Amino acid sequence: MKKIILILALTALFVCCEQKKEIAPEVEKVEYASFGVSISDEGALSKEEMMEKFATLKAGDTLDVKFRSAINEVCQKKGCWMSLNLSEDEELFVKFKDYDFFVPMNAQDKEVIVKGKAYVNVETVADLKHYAKDAGKSQALIDSIVKPEVRYSFMADGVLIAKK
Domains contained in the chain, CATH given: 32-162 (2.40.50.200)
pLDDT in tens, 77-90: 999 999 999 988 88
- In this predicted structure, the answer to whether residue 20 has a pLDDT above a threshold of 50 is no
Which of the 8 DSSP states describes residue 84?
E
- The Cα 59–Cα 122 span in angstroms is 8
When pLDDT is averaged across residues 36-49 and rounded to a whole number, the result is 95
- Grouping H, G, I as helix, E, B as strand and the rest as coil, residue 8 is helix
0.85 cut: is pTM over it? no
Q: Distances from the Cα of 97 to the Cαs of 34, 80, 158, in angstroms?
A: 14, 10, 9
93-146 per-position pLDDT tens digit: 999 999 999 999 999 999 999 999 999 988 899 998 988 888 888 999 989 999
Note the pLDDT tens digit of each residue in 48-57. 999 999 989 8
57: how many CB neighbours lie within 10 A of its CB? 15
